[in-house]
Amino acid sequence: MRKLSLPILLMLVLSCSDGDLQIETIDFDNVLPQSCNDLEASSTNVLFKINVDEALILDLQSSVLNNGVVGETVTTESTVPGQTSITYRIFSGDVSNNYFCDEIPPVTPTVVQEIVAEDGLVTVQTTADADSTNFVHTISLSGVSFVTAAGERITNLTIDEFGEVTTVIPN
């Protein structure tokens, strides 16, 4: 029995995880984008998507949400990381929009890991809604590349469609 216990103990010790967080997928397709403030074409806009204990944060440069011309579709593009940033965060627990919108963010949950996209393109197609009171901005992401601090590339990204947001057509 003693002869078996040392190999079994070694096997258990050597096979245990060192606690590194492994990110297999980033999936926010079924989550609606949120914002803390009314969106404006003339200023930078921060949008975020929350999926339980994860968040995808899109910081758009000004004029990406271009209030175009009623009756036309306007397409704008913004490069990542130069003009726009995309950040993926994992939290220690469930996160709510209070974390992003409160003047003083809550103490918990805390950020366990934060990864900023190193490459990508944000495309926004803008059209007026049916009653011409709002512009509808459909935001798409392509070529987004996240690389962890350990140099590992996150694969199986399913975040092509960020979602739709609206801005008010000025009078």
Between CA 118 and CA 80 the distance in angstroms is 7
Considering only residues 158 and 165, tell me which one the structure prediction assigns the higher pLDDT. 165
Over residues 144-169, mean pLDDT: 82
Q: Phi/psi class of residue 156: alpha, beta or left (left: φ > 0; alpha: ψ in -120 to 50)?
A: left
pLDDT band at 36 (very low <50, low <70, confident <90, very high): very high
- Overall average pLDDT of the 79-99 stretch: 94
H/E stretch holding 98 reads helix 98-101
Residue 171's pLDDT is: 73
CA distance 105 to 137: 28
Round to the nearest angstrom and report the end-to-end CA distance of the chain: 85
The CA distance from 84 to 82, in Å, is 6
| Class of residue 166 by CB neighbours under 10 A (exposed 0-12, middle 13-18, buried 19+) | middle
Q: Which H or E run includes 7?
A: helix 2-15
Q: How far apart are CA 99 and CA 132, in angstroms?
A: 33
User: Which pLDDT value is given to residue 60?
Assistant: 93
- Mean pLDDT computed over 58-79: 88
Number of CB atoms found within 10 A of residue 96's CB: 12
Average pLDDT over residues 106-131: 92
Task: Please name the amino acid found at residue 99.
Answer: Y
Distance of CA 8 to the CA centre of its chain: 43
12 pLDDT more than 90: no
Largest pairwise CA distance in the chain? 85
| Cα distance between residue 23 and residue 32, in whole Å | 21
